Amino acid sequence: MVTHTVCRICRRPLSDIFVDLGVSPFANSYLSPEHLGRMEPFYPLRVFVCTECLLVQLEEFESPEHIFSEYAYFSSFSTAWLEHARQYVEMAAVRFGLGPASKVVEVASNDGYLLQYFHAKQIPVLGIEPAANVAEVAVSKGIPTSVLFFGEETSRQLAAEGQAADLIVGNNVFAHVPDLHSFATGLHTLLKPQGVITLEFPHLLSLIRWNQFDTIYHEHFSYFSLLAVERVFSDHDLEVFDIDELPTHGGSLRIYGRRRGNAAVEISPRVDALRNKEKEADLHSIDGYRAFEAKVRRVKFDLLDFLIQQARQGNQVVGYGAPAKGNTLLNYCGVGPELLAYTVDRSPHKQGYYLPGTRIPILSPDRILETKPAYVLILPWNLREEISSQMAFIREWGGQFVVPIPQLEVF
């Protein structure tokens, strides 16, 4: 095999392919109408697995500054995600004894979706968010937010300004980090000696087990097992002391981290239990990563068969949602407006735009009432219950929902 790049943890040359999804534009590069006449850049969406540390990872084609300085995703448009954040804050405030003398820092704090709940409890907060357009929304909610990319240099600056944290939160940001060592150094630097880190990210075990290949896109540089996270942490005097297995994003981990030697928090038996679970799934061996690509192809074939059959029968299929994962799915499968007439999204920041690559129009959910499609393909399948409940009125004309992952299901 030909070597293409090096591992972002151990710097070993990478040659083993985990899955090759062809070429695709950046998943969040939505097109305005005036840009439809322009060429879109497409990049390989080829995922490697390191034979040394077993980190699953993409090559880096663009800097984080290019990808994230302006962002189309606003967390507060998901009711379920807001509730997830609220419950986390209730738990963390009690478990870690947080109060007016504490400091909570969230990395990639988005539009203040989570910090607003700490703020309501009079717990001092600071958001760190690189996308200025998203940070502006958080500031309007009264959430202090610094427009910065988090890393070693940023953390030193913040610590010098007296912003050291009792709790550092990072939800769905770890995968977005190309320089894992700078990020981990930043966590250690900004954390108070007795402080706690929590990071949430989709679990690689769930991605493999439930065929969640659409969560792979260029903005996600890495895909984590506990094994890989512990390797990064150990290089920076951090350690995992507890774990929650979460249903979010199709199966996520919330890892709790501490500085090595912090005896104030004990290591939970859940850490060892998850290590054993990953070993049983063969994630400690390169052999556990070999069969994934064949499973991915089956999803492509089944979805295309379904959409082509409906098109031949004159049944309209439309999408719900414009998530990044949907763009990976549609571009990999080669689905355009001839098979998916349009998609809808609750976020006004996406309405009126077009999906990257496929150029499927993004409309308001009201459009579904107007056109009464036979099927609604739920692209953010992790929110299937929330969406099918909100859109239950499609049953009035015999409409049905479709999810493509982990396998095609019509319900």
pLDDT of residue 2: 40
Helix or strand or coil: residue 16?
Answer: coil
The pLDDT confidence band at residue 289, using thresholds 50, 70 and 90, is very high
Quote the pLDDT of residue 3. Answer: 43
Tell me which of 340 and 61 has the higher pLDDT: 340
28 touches 71 (CB < 8 A): yes
DSSP character string of 317-354: EEEE---HHHHHHHHHHT--TTTS--EE-S-TTTTT-B
For residues 259 and 149, membership in a common domain is answered with yes
CATH number at residue 224: 3.40.50.150
Domain count, the chain: 2
Does residue 51 fall inside a structural domain?
no
How crowded is the C-beta side of 31, counted as CA atoms within 13 Å?
Answer: 20
Say whether both 138 and 245 belong to one domain: yes
State whether 162 and 182 are in the same domain.
Answer: yes
Q: What is the pLDDT of residues 160-198, one digit of tens each?
A: 999 999 999 999 999 999 999 999 999 999 999 999 999
Same domain, 226 and 359: no
Residues 96 and 206 occupy one common structural domain: yes
Residues 221 and 176 in one domain: yes
For residue 307, name the pLDDT band (cuts at 50, 70, 90): very high
With 60 as the cut, is the pLDDT of residue 259 above it? Answer: yes
For the chain, the farthest-separated pair of C-alpha atoms sits apart, in whole angstroms, at: 65
- Closest listed residue to residue 249, CA positions, set 328, 332, 172, 134: 172
Q: Helix 269-280 and helix 226-234: axis angle, to 10°?
A: 120
What does the pLDDT read at residue 256? 98
Cα–Cα distance, 58 to 108 (Å, whole number): 20
pLDDT of residue 242: 98
| Domain shared by 245 and 391, yes or no | no
pTM for the predicted model, two decimal places: 0.88
User: Which residue(s) pair with 402 in the sheet?
Assistant: 377, 410
Domain that holds residue 258: 68-289
Q: Domain for residue 57, yes or no?
A: no
- C-alpha distances in angstroms, 313 versus 164, 218, 307? 61, 36, 10
Residue 49 lies in a domain: no
